[in-house]
Structure 1
Amino acid sequence: MGFSLFEGFTKSLAMTVLSEIGDKTFFAAAILAMRHPRRLVLSGCLGALIVMTVLSVLVGWAAPNLIPRKWTHHMTTLLFFGFGIWSLWEGFTEEGDSEELAEVEAKLNADFKPSTAATKTVSKADDDLKKQRRPFLTQFFSPIFLKAFSITFFGEWGDKSQIATIGLAADQNPYGVVLGGIIGHALCTTAAVLGGKSLASQISEKMVALSGGILFLVFGVQSFLSAVEES
């Protein structure tokens, strides 16, 4: 069980980091952090990713109880090979992250302009005074927190990393997958909030996609060669 826990943790951590760097939610967190308090953006984005990871692992953990473990093992193997080929295809065919970054910026700008106009009418002193009068929970669950949470949650729903997490949890120790996924998301989201846009401009998305594709293929080969553990 200890090795299974460690294996699930390392696979989940590596998969999450390579899947999330340069992703749409990565750019969204970076752009939101440039316009809003970082602590609210970080807590909102990370909260959504933690909820998404736990839900995905629960689905993957329940799958072997509904479907024979032999089939979930084979489906996980196919998922790894499929995502590996997909990532390699993206790495070889896509020119870079400029289009994705522009798309995220345009979407957030459309939402940001009306709120900016309204915010300018309130002075900083009045705003600080209002913040002091708010209860703690009201400050925490602010519109900024909810915006960061919702953008990240729905942006990750059905994403490649979520499906891969479900498949990984169906074949590995779920506690290890949860821990690795949460730590991986925490690292990527923190990097995005602290300086994601400049970091993304220095990292080649093509290399990230190729690295992720190779990693998925390695997982696929390892899963194909490993024996199915009957529960």
Structure 2
Amino acid sequence: MIAALLLSFGVIFVAELGDKSQLMAMTYALRYRWWVVLLAITVATTAVHAVSVFFGHFLGLSIPSDVMSILAGLAMLVFGLWTIRGDHLDDDEAVKADRVGASVFFAVMSSFFLAELGDKTMLATITLSTNNDWLGVWIGSTIGMVAADALAIAIGALLGKHLPERTIARGAATLFFGFAAWLLWEGLSDAGTVTVIATLTAVVVLLGIGAVYIRHLRKSAAAARIPDDESAARTIAR
């Protein structure tokens, strides 16, 4: 149980760095009392990870551990690429964070619960619970996420500014790739030739798709900055 708790804590803590929900926590902390935000996040996280562990635990009971290690490794690879991509709040989420009504606690709790459904931290918790102690994963993942969001709340409440997202994203992605390599090694150590070839092919495909997608995002971002730069230049000329 202790090993599952520590592993889950580390994975989820890293996954949460620079994530959308951490940015939401920081935004809430700029406007509301930190302890209300932290308590609401803790309740929402406990509920979401309880659901994740339930499905992951019972799903994992019927799948061989080596297969789960390979799938977990591929999942961690995806999480690493996802983290490199970066995250941001869209307009609707920013409005929710800035215009919360009287019931701050329930507003924060519900928004975090919905934001985490299908997020990479939920998928990581499901993955970890398939072949680890479910109680340890539940406790560790919950503490890991709350700790990461508490860091964002502290920054938002005390300093009023964001963490350097690009640096955090690169560090988190590196750790995810490390987890991926470790899990894939465990799964493939006694695997047959067909499984090894299929897994390596999947890795190459995922890396290729990820590289193309990230390159597309960066080109789009660069193209979006050009009109702004031109407008600024015209303003200075006037």
Q: With structure 2 as the length reference, what TM-score do the two structures score?
A: 0.67
Please state whether the residue corresponding to 1:215 is helix, strand or coil.
helix
**Equivalence for 1:176:** 136
Give the stretch that moved more between structures: 215-224 or 21-30.
21-30
Matching residue of 2:111: 151
Q: Contact 2:73–2:184 at 8 Å: present in 1 too? A: yes
1:123-134 map, 5 Å: none
Deviation at 1:227, TM superposition (A): 5.5
Do the aligned residues in 1 keep the contact of 2:69 with 2:187 (CA within 8 Å)? no
Q: Do 2:59 and 2:130's aligned partners in 1 also have CA atoms closer than 8 Å?
A: yes
Deviation at 1:101, TM superposition (A): 8.1
Between the two proteins, what is the percent identity of the paired residues?
24
Contact 2:80-2:173 within 8 A present in 1 as well = yes
Question: CA-to-partner distance for each residue in 1:124-146, whole Å, 9 max, x for gaps?
Answer: xxxxxxxxxxxxxxxxxxx2221
**Structure 1 residue 108 corresponds to structure 2 residue 97:** yes
Contiguous gaps of at least 5 residues in structure 2: 189-238
Alignment match of 1:21 (pick from 17, 22, 28): 17
Letter in 2 for 1:105: A
Shift of 1:178: 1.9
Alpha carbons 1:25, 1:151 under 8 Å: kept: no
Q: 24, 40, 46: which is aligned to 1:44? A: 40
- Return the alpha-carbon distance in structure 1 between the equivalents of residues 2 and 139 of structure 2: 10
User: For the residues of structure 1 that align with 2:143 and 2:164, how far apart are their CA atoms?
Assistant: 23
Which of 55, 58, 67 is equivalent to 2:51? 55
Match of 2:127 in 1: 167
Q: Is the 8 A contact 1:45 1:149 kept in 2?
A: yes
RMSD in angstroms over aligned alpha carbons? 2.8
Asked whether 1:67 is paired with 2:68, we answer no
The answer for the alignment partner of 2:204 in structure 1 is: none
Give 1:193's aligned residue: 153
> Measured at CA, do residues 18 and 42 of structure 1 come closer, stay the same or move farther in structure 2, by a change above 3 Å?
same
Q: How far has the Cα of 1:62 moved from its partner? A: 0.9
> What does 1:73-112 align with in structure 2 at a 5 Å threshold?
73-88=69-84, 90=85, 100=89, 104-109=93-98, 111-112=99-100
Q: 1:153-191 CA deviation, whole Å, 9 max, x = no partner? A: 001110011101111111323233222212212212323
Equivalents in 1 of 2:144, 2:107: separation in Å? 22
Greater Cα shift, 8-17 or 51-60: 8-17
- Secondary structure of the residue that 2:130 maps to in structure 1? helix
Higher RCO (CA < 8 A, seq sep 6+): 1
C-alpha deviation, 1:44, in angstroms: 1.1
Cα distance in structure 2, aligned partners of 1:226 and 1:17: 22
Aligned to 1:214: 174
Aligned residue pair count: 188
1:202 Cα deviation after fit: 5.7
AA matched with 2:176: F
Query: Cα gap change, 1:227/1:195 in structure 2, threshold over 3 Å: closer, same or farther?
Result: closer
- Compared CA separation, residues 7 and 222, structure 1 to 2 (3 A): farther
